[in-house]
Chain A
Amino acid sequence: MKNSTIYKFSTLFKTQYANMLEYRAEIALWAISGVIPFFMLNIWTNNGLNESINISNVMLSRYFLSAFFVRQFSVVWVVFTFEEDALLGRVSPYIIQPLHPFIRYFAQHIAEQITRFPFALCIAIFFFIFNPQSLWIPSFLTIIISLISVFFSFLIQFLMQSIIASFCFWTEKASSIEKLLFIPTLFLSGLLAPVSSFPPYVKSWIYLTPFPYLIDFPASILSGNQANIIEGIFIQFLWIVLFFTIFKKFWKAGTKKFTAMGL
């Protein structure tokens, strides 16, 4: 079964993992750059802002720690890599290969996340040393469910960015569109403030967008805050299906438009 997709993927994954291990110092720094939720937690608890939204200090600190973890394992950068590859003409050989180029990027992301895991764990241990009262051990079932929803969140973001990345076939700087999309992701996903604290005029429409399902929903499950698990995972799944169809359409149209660069 040497030709099976699983074999291809596992080989890709192994080589990418070895590749990522070489960059572990980089990845450690990247993990550190994700500490913003902890600073936000500091503002929330230091000013007693959480009293009016009925989340205790301990629950809020668990929420932000979970948000940190969810963010660590759902960071996507495919558009930047793809843009570079497109500009340098590396996409041309990828397209000829009997393997979708994005499977290669997907393997890169998974490998990077696994390299990142020990560093994220170190940061969490430091967090518990400073906040021993917020230590908690989620049940096995919670861990499994939150792993699924984190993975779904990663998939949604990966597909969203892949759609933007396929704009590279038309424009040379697709990454600036990604920077634009990052703004609502930052403010509406629950990374800086839990969605439950949002004012009613935002709450009324925010659940129609994919954003709260990126960080707030998985983080709420993991931290044991209130979350509608079955409904949430189902909606995440719907977004994945939707974005996957759009991506396939764009990719098909884009490859027809493709003009090789850097040859």
Chain B
Amino acid sequence: MNIKKYLQVYSYFNYSSFSIELEYKVNLFIDLLTAILGLIGSVFLLSIFFSNTDEIGGWNFNQALIIQGIYTILNGVTNTWFNPNLKEIVKYVREGTLDYVLLKPIDSQFWVSFNRISPTGLIEILLGFFVLNYCFYINNISFTIWSLILLMITLICSISILYSLWFLISTTTIWFVKTWNATEVLRSFLYMGRFPMDSFSFSLRIFFSTFIPITFITTIPSEVLLGLSPAWKIILEVLVSMTFLIFSRKFWKFALRFYTSASS
């Protein structure tokens, strides 16, 4: 592993995909509008919930807004890195171009995961931090270096879990060839990360903390911000994200053994 080489390759990746994306400038604007409207829509939905009650699952409106902020950041990360890259895996396998990736003198998982970048998601990440900043204000959260570090740790863990989930599903392409819609299923489940997990019934909460660990993705970072999260939850999240990362790596290596090119 030569880190310097990988960083250099990564900067080339970024340069080329930025120049592709900037060809569609109007698109950037429309995507920004979509992100803002999406946020307004889910705040609207929350306001409907809270017009009937003061709290759902023990969270009040201001606290639930934090989850919206975290979700927006993570959605931005998904749209910037995971979505443009991992969707392509399906194409590589179907057209057999994965051959070229495997032949390159670089780690194949690195190549398929970071080849492209879509700048519109970056604006969404900014928007999410903006919302979080507002939440600090309305929830009277006092800043400490310690809480900021903890937030960063949990956010990085969330991103790792998200990445692993996307990558695991995309890897199954090697057997099933067509998995566009499997990522759609994942997307619609992840959508529930916009709401506090305590607002679901017990059985769904179990489902969302084991099969598709949405609890770890948005709820725990928000709890950390509010200072509500006990230490064991944070440690558990770190462990879960490590397990997911290692498993997704192993799974990719395992799947590659079954890769039998396409056509020719």
List chain B residues, Cβ under 8 A from A33.
181, 184-185, 187-188
Whether a CB of chain B sits under 8 angstroms from the CB of A39 is yes
| Interface residue from B37, B56, B187, B200 paired with A183 (Cβ < 8 Å) | B37
**A42-B204, A43-B199 are contacts. A29–B184 as well, Cβ < 8 Å?**
yes
List chain A residues, Cβ under 8 A from B52.
49-53, 197
What are the interface flags for B169-182 relative to A under an 8 Å C-beta threshold, 1 for contact and 0 otherwise? Answer: 00000001010111
- Are B187 and A39 in contact, with the CB atoms below 8 A? no
Whether a CB of chain A sits under 8 angstroms from the CB of B7 is no
Whether a CB of chain A sits under 8 angstroms from the CB of B153 is no
Label chain A's interface by main secondary structure. helix
List chain B residues, Cβ under 8 A from A187.
41-42, 44-45
List chain B residues, Cβ under 8 A from A50.
52
- Are A179 and B199 in contact, with the CB atoms below 8 A? no
Q: Which residue of A lies closest to B201 (CB)?
A: A46
List chain B residues, Cβ under 8 A from A32.
185
Residues 167-186 of A contacting B (Cβ, < 8 Å):
171-173, 176-177, 179-180, 183-184, 186
Whether a CB of chain B sits under 8 angstroms from the CB of A253 is no
Q: Which residue of B lies closest to A199 (CB)?
A: B51
Whether a CB of chain A sits under 8 angstroms from the CB of B192 is yes
- Are B185 and A46 in contact, with the CB atoms below 8 A? no
What are the interface flags for A194-215 relative to B under an 8 Å C-beta threshold, 1 for contact and 0 otherwise? Answer: 0001110010000000000000
Chain A residues bordering chain B, tally (CB within 8 A): 39
Report Cα–Cα, A27/B185, bound state, in Å: 11
| Interface residue from B26, B34, B199 paired with A46 (Cβ < 8 Å) | B199
Q: Which residue of A lies closest to B56 (CB)?
A: A47
- Are A176 and B30 in contact, with the CB atoms below 8 A? yes
| Interface residue from B26, B176, B200 paired with A43 (Cβ < 8 Å) | B200
| Interface residue from A39, A193, A197 paired with B200 (Cβ < 8 Å) | A39
Whether a CB of chain B sits under 8 angstroms from the CB of A48 is yes
Residues 33-52 of B contacting A (Cβ, < 8 Å):
33-34, 37-38, 41-42, 44-45, 47-49, 51-52
Whether a CB of chain A sits under 8 angstroms from the CB of B223 is no
List chain B residues, Cβ under 8 A from A53.
52
In the assembled complex, the CB of A112 is this many whole angstroms from the nearest CB of chain B, namely 12
In the assembled complex, the CB of B224 is this many whole angstroms from the nearest CB of chain A, namely 23
List chain A residues, Cβ under 8 A from B48.
193, 197-199
Q: Which residue of A lies closest to B208 (CB)?
A: A39
Report Cα–Cα, A53/B184, bound state, in Å: 32
List chain A residues, Cβ under 8 A from B81.
none
Whether a CB of chain A sits under 8 angstroms from the CB of B24 is yes
The residues of A with any CB-CB pair to B shorter than 8 Å are: 23, 25-27, 29-30, 32-36, 39, 42-43, 46-53, 171-173, 176-177, 179-180, 183-184, 186-187, 192-193, 197-199, 202
Instruction: Pick 20 A–B contacts, CB within 8 A, sort by A.
Output: A29-B184, A30-B184, A34-B188, A36-B192, A42-B204, A43-B49, A43-B195, A43-B200, A46-B57, A49-B52, A50-B52, A52-B51, A172-B24, A176-B27, A176-B31, A179-B31, A180-B33, A183-B41, A186-B41, A187-B44
